[in-house]
A and B are shown apart, each in its own frame.
Chain A
Amino acid sequence: MSRRCLDGLFARVREEGRTAFLPFMTAGLPDPGTTVEAFTAMAEAGADAFEVGIPYSDPLMDGPIIQAASAKAIESGMTLRGGFEVLGRVVEATGLPALAMSYANPVFRLGPDEFARRAADAGACGLIVADLPLEEAPPVAEAAHRAGIGLVLFAAPTTHDERLARIAARRPVFIYGVAELGVTGERNRMSARPRDLAARIRAVTDTPLVMGVGIGTPQQAAALAPYADGVIVGSALVRRAIESPDPIPEIAAAAAALAGALSGSGAPK
């Protein structure tokens, strides 16, 4: 169905015996003037691709950090158009692939075709829509396909195996494995859920698997690396963008530690 825009990346990291690092950052953070710099710093620190958060007023899959980031970005004037513009500048400045992350309402407000076309024009290779499950995905997947980009689909610890097979059959860009129950945000401890989920997904499909939600530390990333093609870290980086008085070096340092933890991980199982 959709073009698997990151297949080349996943093949390459596999050859290199490591797991891809996909940091998330809200467009417009730490502030509109330095947001592209935050992404380039993460690229220099070893990011392989980006998830660019287009801020939404009611992000119900996000925890307090990304909620605060979205609200701050919107307050500072970030819009849908502005978010796509940031994404375009990030792709241009870093040469790395980027996915646009949003929620269903902005996608359908513009119309899936218009939204996908704008994302594609900005340089995105795929869409991540946090509240768009399998059942509601077809119009967006088809629009993304028409625009020459892909759609990511989710699998969660609660997703049963028969449903996993249906998700994989849609040929998403990758399966976003929701590592932990709950919304985005850092966790003190990692449960056994992420590994169990990764094993269940691997058993039904060779679709690339990227794990996210609840992964914040290099140790947590390293622990998951053997089971996934990629790892997404969001809140741990966004927190630094919100809280630090001098955020860019802190984001870069955190990103470097995460990338380092994933680089010696060995080829994903």
Chain B
Amino acid sequence: MTGMRLDRPDERGRFGEYGGMFAPETLMPALEELAHGFADAWADSGFAGGFRELLNTYAGRPTPLHGADRLSEEIGVRVLLKREDLAHTGAHKINNALGQGLLASRMGKTRLIAETGAGQHGVATATAAAYVGLECLVYMGEKDIERQALNVMRMRMLGAGVIPVTAGAGTLKDAVNEAMRDWVRTVENTHYIIGSAVGPHPFPWMVREFQKVIGEESISQLEGERPDTVVACVGGGSNAIGMFYPFAGLPGIDLVGVEAAGHGIATGRHGASIGAGSPGILHGARTYMLQDDEGQVLEAHSISAGLDYPGVGPELAYFADAGLARYVSITDQEALEGVDLLARTEGIIPALESAHAVAWVAREADALDGRTVLLNLSGRGDKDVEMIAAHASEGS
């Protein structure tokens, strides 16, 4: 039974059973203000038009839709790449960061904070902050600071402060916690630019609205052609929901979200919140997550910092239950092979996150025979080169 996509969440901020506002009381007035502020801005053609214009003049949109001929030939499946890696700062994250940065300015906030995993959202937020002229502080897990040193340097060059987070495993989940804690203290003058389609309402809806340009542009660039399969990697899921939403519910299109299988689902060391998790409440929203029987949050694992997250955006959870999308997973090793494959055949080094989507298409090539696959190449891999090299030398 396939449900319908929802233009916006209900008045309780829910997509079906998922979403909501599980936040400390201190933040609730700010979330209400943000929901109204965003709805008001998004309905204002001046704001919405200004945002679209800025994406084109500043962020490098529209990003190309590239027919990956040599990859297609190698694996025997026709693949089209949506080149979000060519957006300014190297990933789709800039769409959301600019949208929220403009909104924060419009709402009179003077300070921006963000969490980051791989560092791409941190860089995008630091960029947006510099563009709109606001102070910026980014929370980043210390493990991620280590594995994404290049992005840490970029954030600092852009004038942002980077605060290491030592709690938990020192990854994305802990960085979100710490950014939320900052926001509880500073909510009167600060806007929290959450980096994925996660968090309490209105964040998942707002982030999807800022990211749906990915799917909308793809539809326009396809000039009437319909892909059979649309695939994107899923951590929190902002690139996936941005690509999927405009396609959701169109007949005959298979939407496939690729989660991180890490060391393998059976090892318990993975980031497959939908594939191997259960519904719970994480970072303000009811969604699929990794947890134990008593509701303690489990640590995720992925070679890619951006997929190393024990939850997922509530709308993607709704898509799972509604049958609008299906979710699969790819291991660390397969993702590394995905990087290699795309680099060799297309001259594109993808981010480790996006390489999960590449690897899935390659692995499932037989099943995809005769189909056209639209793949969201969400980010570029410069940030991962050191990590990939380290694995290559271990393997050899």
User: When the two chains form the complex, which single residue of B23, B28, B185 contacts A181, counting CB atoms closer than 8 Å?
Assistant: B185
Given contacts A58-B173, A108-B286, A183-B185, contact A154 B24 (CB under 8 A): yes
Contact across chains for A133 and B25 when beta carbons are under 8 A apart: yes
User: When the two chains form the complex, which single residue of A80, A154, A182 contacts B294, counting CB atoms closer than 8 Å?
Assistant: A80
User: When the two chains form the complex, which single residue of B12, B21, B181 contacts A60, counting CB atoms closer than 8 Å?
Assistant: B181
Q: Please, how many angstroms separate the alpha-carbon atoms of A182 and B28 in the complex?
A: 13
Which A residues touch B282, using CB under 8 A? 58, 105
Measured CB to CB, the nearest residue on chain B to A81 is: B294
Asked whether A136 is an interface residue with its Cβ less than 8 Å from the other chain, the reply is: yes
Given contacts A105-B280, A133-B21, contact A158 B187 (CB under 8 A): yes
Binary interface profile of B, 297-323, with partner A (CB < 8 Å = 1, else 0)? 100000000000000000000000000
Given contacts A133-B24, A136-B20, contact A104 B184 (CB under 8 A): no
A198 CB to closest chain B CB (Å) equals 15
Contact across chains for A131 and B294 when beta carbons are under 8 A apart: no
User: When the two chains form the complex, which single residue of A67, A108, A181 contacts B186, counting CB atoms closer than 8 Å?
Assistant: A181
Asked whether A178 is an interface residue with its Cβ less than 8 Å from the other chain, the reply is: yes
Of residues 1 through 58 on chain B, the ones whose CB sits less than 8 Å from some CB of chain A are: 12, 20-30
Residue among A105, A110, A156 facing the most chain B CB atoms (10 A cut-off) = A105
Contact across chains for A160 and B29 when beta carbons are under 8 A apart: yes
Asked whether B180 is an interface residue with its Cβ less than 8 Å from the other chain, the reply is: yes
Asked whether A244 is an interface residue with its Cβ less than 8 Å from the other chain, the reply is: no
User: When the two chains form the complex, which single residue of B25, B173, B280 contacts A154, counting CB atoms closer than 8 Å?
Assistant: B25
User: When the two chains form the complex, which single residue of B168, B184, B280, B297 contacts A61, counting CB atoms closer than 8 Å?
Assistant: B184
Asked whether A130 is an interface residue with its Cβ less than 8 Å from the other chain, the reply is: yes
Q: Please, how many angstroms separate the alpha-carbon atoms of A43 and B204 in the complex?
A: 45
Contact across chains for B284 and A135 when beta carbons are under 8 A apart: no
Asked whether B74 is an interface residue with its Cβ less than 8 Å from the other chain, the reply is: no
Given contacts A105-B291, A108-B295, contact A158 B21 (CB under 8 A): no
Which A residues touch B29, using CB under 8 A? 156, 158-160, 163
Binary interface profile of A, 75-96, with partner B (CB < 8 Å = 1, else 0)? 0000111000000000000000
Asked whether A57 is an interface residue with its Cβ less than 8 Å from the other chain, the reply is: yes
Contact across chains for B294 and A156 when beta carbons are under 8 A apart: no
A230 CB to closest chain B CB (Å) equals 17
User: When the two chains form the complex, which single residue of A57, A81, A131, A154 contacts B296, counting CB atoms closer than 8 Å?
Assistant: A57
Contact across chains for A181 and B177 when beta carbons are under 8 A apart: no
Contact across chains for A178 and B177 when beta carbons are under 8 A apart: no
Q: Please, how many angstroms separate the alpha-carbon atoms of A110 and B291 in the complex?
A: 12
Asked whether B366 is an interface residue with its Cβ less than 8 Å from the other chain, the reply is: no
Contact across chains for B180 and A106 when beta carbons are under 8 A apart: no
Asked whether A63 is an interface residue with its Cβ less than 8 Å from the other chain, the reply is: yes
Contact across chains for A131 and B185 when beta carbons are under 8 A apart: no
Of residues 372 through 395 on chain B, the ones whose CB sits less than 8 Å from some CB of chain A are: none
Interface of B (DSSP majority class): mixed
A58 CB to closest chain B CB (Å) equals 5
Residue among A154, A156, A159 facing the most chain B CB atoms (10 A cut-off) = A156
Contact across chains for A181 and B187 when beta carbons are under 8 A apart: yes
Asked whether A9 is an interface residue with its Cβ less than 8 Å from the other chain, the reply is: no
B10 CB to closest chain A CB (Å) equals 12
Contact across chains for B21 and A108 when beta carbons are under 8 A apart: no
Contact across chains for A181 and B181 when beta carbons are under 8 A apart: no
B295 CB to closest chain A CB (Å) equals 3
Contact across chains for A58 and B280 when beta carbons are under 8 A apart: no
Binary interface profile of B, 177-196, with partner A (CB < 8 Å = 1, else 0)? 10011001111100000000
Measured CB to CB, the nearest residue on chain A to B298 is: A57
A213 CB to closest chain B CB (Å) equals 9
Q: How many residues of B contact A (CB 8 A)?
A: 35
Asked whether A157 is an interface residue with its Cβ less than 8 Å from the other chain, the reply is: yes
Given contacts A108-B281, A136-B20, contact A156 B25 (CB under 8 A): yes
Measured CB to CB, the nearest residue on chain A to B186 is: A181
Which B residues touch A181, using CB under 8 A? 26, 184-188
Which A residues touch B180, using CB under 8 A? 60
Which B residues touch A156, using CB under 8 A? 24-26, 28-29
Which A residues touch B284, using CB under 8 A? 131
Measured CB to CB, the nearest residue on chain A to B24 is: A61
Contact across chains for A56 and B185 when beta carbons are under 8 A apart: no
Which B residues touch A253, using CB under 8 A? none
Contact across chains for A60 and B24 when beta carbons are under 8 A apart: yes
Asked whether B167 is an interface residue with its Cβ less than 8 Å from the other chain, the reply is: yes
Of residues 59 through 75 on chain A, the ones whose CB sits less than 8 Å from some CB of chain B are: 60-61, 63, 67, 71, 74
Given contacts A158-B187, A181-B188, contact A131 B22 (CB under 8 A): yes
Which A residues touch B294, using CB under 8 A? 79-81, 106, 109-110
Residue among A71, A74, A106, A135 facing the most chain B CB atoms (10 A cut-off) = A135
Measured CB to CB, the nearest residue on chain A to B185 is: A182
Which B residues touch A106, using CB under 8 A? 294-296
Asked whether B293 is an interface residue with its Cβ less than 8 Å from the other chain, the reply is: yes
B128 CB to closest chain A CB (Å) equals 24
B55 CB to closest chain A CB (Å) equals 32
Contact across chains for B22 and A58 when beta carbons are under 8 A apart: no
Contact across chains for A56 and B12 when beta carbons are under 8 A apart: no
Asked whether A132 is an interface residue with its Cβ less than 8 Å from the other chain, the reply is: yes
Nearest 9 A-B pairs (CB), nearest first? A109-B295, A182-B185, A106-B295, A154-B25, A156-B26, A57-B296, A80-B294, A105-B295, A105-B281
Q: Which residues of A contact B (CB under 8 A)?
A: 56-58, 60-61, 63, 67, 71, 74, 79-81, 103-110, 130-136, 153-160, 163, 178, 181-183
Q: Can you list 23 A-B pairs with a CB-CB distance of less than 8 A? A: A56-B296, A57-B168, A58-B173, A71-B167, A80-B295, A104-B281, A105-B295, A106-B294, A109-B291, A131-B22, A133-B23, A136-B21, A136-B22, A156-B25, A156-B29, A157-B26, A158-B30, A158-B187, A159-B29, A163-B29, A181-B184, A182-B184, A183-B184
A58-B173, A156-B24, A158-B28 given; 16 more Cβ-contact pairs under 8 Å: A61-B181, A71-B167, A80-B294, A80-B295, A81-B294, A104-B22, A105-B281, A105-B282, A105-B295, A133-B28, A156-B29, A158-B25, A160-B29, A163-B28, A178-B26, A181-B186
